[in-house]
Amino acid sequence: MIVSRRSYMLPTIILICLTYILFSSLPPGAETPYGHHHHDHHHSDEQQHQDHRVRWHKHAEQYPIYDYIPLPSAPSSPIPRVQYKFPKESWFAKWGRTKRQRAVKKAFKHAWKGYKENAWLRDELSPLSGGHRETFAGWAATLVDSLDTLVIMGLTDEFEEALEAIEQIDFTTTDAIQINVFETNIRYLGGLLGAYDLTHGKYPILLQKATEIADMIYACFDTRNRMPQSRWEWTRSAGGLSIEPSRNTILAEIGSLNLEFTRMSQLTKDPKYFDAIQRITDFLEETQPKTKVPGMWPMMVNARDLELFDPRFTIGGMADSTYEYLPKEHMLLGGQTNQYRRMYDSFMKAMKSRLLFRPMTEDGRDILFAGNVHAGSGKTTLEPQWEHLKCFLGGTVGVGSKVFNRPEELSIARKLVDGCVWAYDVMPTGIMPEILHLAVCPDAENCTLPKNSHSEDPDTYAESIAQGKKLPPGVVDIPDPKYLLRPEAIESVFIMYRITGDKTLQDDAWRMFQNIERMTRTAYGHAAIADVRDPASPLMDYMESFWLAETLKYFYLTFSEPDLVNLDEYVL
């Protein structure tokens, strides 16, 4: 998503492309995901039972707000320069760069064509069968989520055709029993606001539809303590019944609503959206020093009783975007409050001291990863696990080092980015898996694996040999070998390139793109990979909206001219 700040003192735009998608199982007691999967791509049944569906109607609030928290009104603080000052490009360099950029655009057009011809106005294309899936309330998630990419790539005809299509989307009803508010927020509200800001308000339909969806999901905050019901029982609200937040709420689902809701208040001048998310922010700041890992929040939050007892702490899935949004919201608000600076400072202290580790590699490479912490029974244990979802961290720390004037942390950001590139390069397919476990360096002087040794647990190694899928040196285990077309790694490569100007990062990105394109391309689009350890891996019949909305966008921007989504005008 891209959110414009041109009407504010600092002329920036927020580009929000979450990296966080839940594919792991929820813990016991968590609310169950919703969604219906359909593989018939014919649209003749679209009007069936329309008159009998429950529709959203606004009712008087059960717990109304009479005094909204307003947007901050203090003078804006200057945001330090983020982007590297690029010199003039040579003819030869431009030729090579644009050749790569055209290849990315060609991949996007191929997948967009498959979506348009086989899954138009559906949530997702099924890229192997040519069918479709309804995974996010059935409101054309891929179409809406990809609007800003269409603008960035200059696909004007496709964009205007998509604008005509979104007029048909009825945000007042869905077959889903529950609405995942987080996913709805980032894919729909984010997609609409991003396109609206990129086109400088030229298309009012975008803000109109954004307001429709924002007003609907705003009702999930109508609870006793104004914490949202993240898996919203929307039919209860539509019927005027009360709802409760869950005692098992995923941290990222409660802590990652602020950018879009803040932007809604900025654009519409309606304070209710900002009020809703500011109450969450105040709760998070108040509890931040009181958790079992002070400075961080656990994976699960008891939003009903406002308690934080879960002993699991991570910057990965179920938590990631809560931390990612700290510098972003600071920028969106023009530095008018130091709240997010304080929260980021506390987070970085905890993350650096408790989660960061250097892995053992064959060449003793100086790279970093962030593991997980279990803080139960008075003992804190580090799990050296890394996820593709965690690859957002390098870009976030890089941006934070600039906007919060923490130059000493830029080297940490670069080592995190290089770690993700390494995780791509060591795999037989050249693609990083969903989850891997690494061997931790015993100390700073002992970080190189002995020659002809295997860091794996003997039993795990024997099993991998039996499967014909040897683990790369330094990798202890790969519990989830899939690649789901995720954007987090290339997002951070792009940000680090724009911050440092280091063109070797463009070479890294090109290598990543070529491997992904080679492994995932199908007749209808691009498909997720079942096992990145296997160069002949079978594919899986789904293509999430973030492939077009984020992954290919970041590849394209990595090979664009520096002023396209300039980091001093845009914030990722």
Catalytic member of 158, 320, 456, 568: 320
CB-facing half-sphere around the CA of 490: CA atoms within 13 A = 29
Contact 478, 435 (CB under 8 A): yes
| Encoded tokens for 491 | 């997002």
User: 10 Å Cβ neighbour count for 374?
Assistant: 17
CA angle 290, 278, 300 (to 5 degrees): 45
134: helix, strand or coil? strand
16: nearest Cα among 562, 549, 410, 560: 549
Catalytic member of 183, 197, 418, 568: 183
Cα distances (Å, whole numbers) of residue 244 to 307, 548, 570: 15, 35, 37
The backbone torsions φ and ψ at residue 408, rounded to the nearest 5 degrees and listed phi first, read -65, -15
Contact 156, 60 (CB under 8 A): no
Catalytic member of 31, 148, 197, 434: 434
Element (H, E) at 133: strand 131-133
- The question of whether 183 is a catalytic residue gets the answer yes
Cα(371)–Cα(380) distance, integer angstroms: 12
Contacts of 423 (CB under 8 A, 6+ apart): 386, 432, 433, 436, 489
Cα(337)–Cα(329) distance, integer angstroms: 10
Cα(8)–Cα(199) distance, integer angstroms: 17
| Encoded tokens for 362 | 């064959």
Cα(332)–Cα(277) distance, integer angstroms: 14
Catalytic member of 488, 491, 531, 550: 488
Active site positions, annotated: 183, 320, 434, 488
